[in-house]
Each structure stands twice: as structure tokens, then as C-alpha cells.
Amino acid sequence: MKKDIDWGSLGFEYTKTDKRFIAEYRDGAWNEGELSDDENLVINECAGVLHYAQECFEGLKAYTTEDGRTVCFRPDMNAERMYNTALRLAMPPFPKDKFVEAVKAVVKANEAWVPPYGSGATLYLRPEMYGIGPVIGVKPSDVYQFRIFCTPVGPYFKGGAKPVKLKVSDYDRAAPRGTGHIKAGLNYAMSLYAIELAHEEGYAENVYLDPPTRTKIEETGGANMIFVDGDGNLVVPKSDSILPSVTRRSIVYVAENYLGLKVDEREVTLAEVPNFKECGLCGTAAVISPVGLINDHGKEIRFESGMEKMGPVIQKLYDTLTGIQMGRIEAPEGWIVEI
């Protein structure tokens, strides 16, 4: 029996659900972990996460398909990315197979919170890991906690699929040879001040450029970017400091193998953006959110697709990917994990 919730009015906000999975790393090994009712975390005042930002997280979703099944979308990809993130932050990686099993356990334990098909809402899962052992010197923690909680959510952007406005930021999101390619909380902390400024000026997000030359598109504070050129081809910015988005990589596969589009993954300069017909932000939370306008220091780059709806190519990508996630379109092998 589903919870009695007005699913259609949900925002992208936290709601406590029934169960979460918790495991700890002590004495050189992860324990088996367990489901818990307790949403609170008690840690030492000297915990490594508080002083040296040893923290990483993931984001994925569970859905109710058209035929009533409960499924998750490509959790193995999140397991792989979190594994690589942990290595970069000198944290003990959580085993990838156990990650997927923990995802299944959390969704199954909270199945009443999975929004019904057609509601526009989904169950968002947030795996996270942090150093909880006391550390005063600059070094990795000895004790870690891995946790997965979930919460039902509506659209990430309040306007839903309505095109958003972006601005080119004067700040940098990530350093060259830094941590832009992993999903660490510290990358998002870097973007908070800039995004508050953008919101005050009426923009949904910032576009970050490459720090060395400030001429190439990287990503926004919370999503990868994609473009459609004048020939209807998909153009995807490429950089060593862009997060390898699961959604972006899925979009590339869908574009090539479902829609027959040519995909060009390469460095993209800000100077060529005015030549593109469509633009979108992609990530787990929003899937694809269309972009209607980018403000480059007072110069407005307006996309032909406009400010009222998605452009035709991005609409096809969105419809196909969400169709796969919701069970309306047959998925590539291994993409859909049934609970």
C-alpha cells in the first residue's frame, strides 16, 4: 500500500522515510551493515569529515514502471563511480556488489514511498560516505560510515520541464587535476556561493568554464551540459574535470543507438555556443532540463528552441530515456534492476 501523499505537489526536498542502510568501516574492514529506523547521525567533534571534508555521495532513483514493477536505474554505475571517488579521497571503497544489494534493500524496505506511475514523482536515493573517526592532524580518518537513505521527490527545478536561464560564472567549480571528475561534497561546496548569486539575479544555475583558459564549457554546479547543433547532432562537452554523469552517458547511448543521432564528445568553446540550436542540463535529479538562455556577462545567448518548451531533439532524448526508466521502452541489458 502506497503512502497517502499528494505525489504531484512534491518538490525536490527531504522527507523522512521508514528505513535506511548503514554500514561502518573499522579496524580495516567494512561490517555487513543493517537497515535502521534512525535518521540521525552522532559523530565525534573531531571527525575527519568535519575538518578535512572526507565525504562523498551518489544520487539515483527508483521508479514505478507502467506495468507496476518497482525498479532502479543503473545502480552499478553509481557503485562504480562511488568506488572511484573513495579512492581519490583516500577513503576505503565500499564494495560495488554490496552497494547494489544495499540499494535494493533500501528500496524494498521503503516500497510504500515509491511514487506511483504517472505521478511525475520518483524515489530519490542518496548513498553517502564520510570519515567519522577523530582526526586532528591532516590525514585520512580510520573509521567511516556508509549510508543510503531515500526520499520521494518531485522535479528538481520548480518549473519542471520549462526552459531555465543560466549565467556564465566568474568563479571556478574545480581545479585542473583536482576533484572535478569525482562526486565529492567539496565540489558542491565550491559552487554554493556562486549559485546563491545566480539565484539573486534570476538564474537557475551557473555555467562554469575551464579555469586555465576560461574559454571552454565545463558543466554547471549540479549537472552536465549537452547541446544540439544546426544539423541535429548531439554535442557533449569533454573535460578531465567534468563529472562522469550516469545520465549523460545514458543519453549518449540513447542518442546513438535508439535515435540514430551523431554524437560528438569533444571540447566545446563558449564562443561556439551561439551556433547551437538547443541546450540542456542532465543529471539524475532533473534527467534533462532544457535551457533557453545563457547570459555571458550581459550578452544573451538565446537558443532557437526558446523559453517555452524543450527543443525537438532534447524532447526525443528525454522521452526515450524516461520511457526506458519507466518501462515504456525496452531497456538495454542491465540498465533496469527490478526490486
Give which of 60, 61, 59 is closest to 122, Cα–Cα.
61
CA pair distance 131, 298, nearest whole angstrom: 43
Residue 216 annotated in active site: no
C-alpha R_g of the chain: 20
* Distance from chain centroid for Cα 285: 6
Q: 3-state DSSP call for residue 179?
A: coil
Candidates 61, 183, 216, 277; catalytic one:
183
- Sign of the alpha-carbon torsion through 264, 268, 272, 275: positive
Give which of 265, 176, 168, 266 is closest to 221, Cα–Cα.
168
CA pair distance 304, 310, nearest whole angstrom: 10
- At 260, list the grid cell: 540514430
Residues 294, 207 contacting (CB under 8 angstroms)? yes
Q: Which phi-psi region, left, alpha or beta, contains residue 28 (left: φ > 0; alpha: ψ -120 to 50)?
A: left
Say how many Å lie between the first and final Cα of the chain, rounded: 16
* Residue positions annotated with a catalytic role: 183
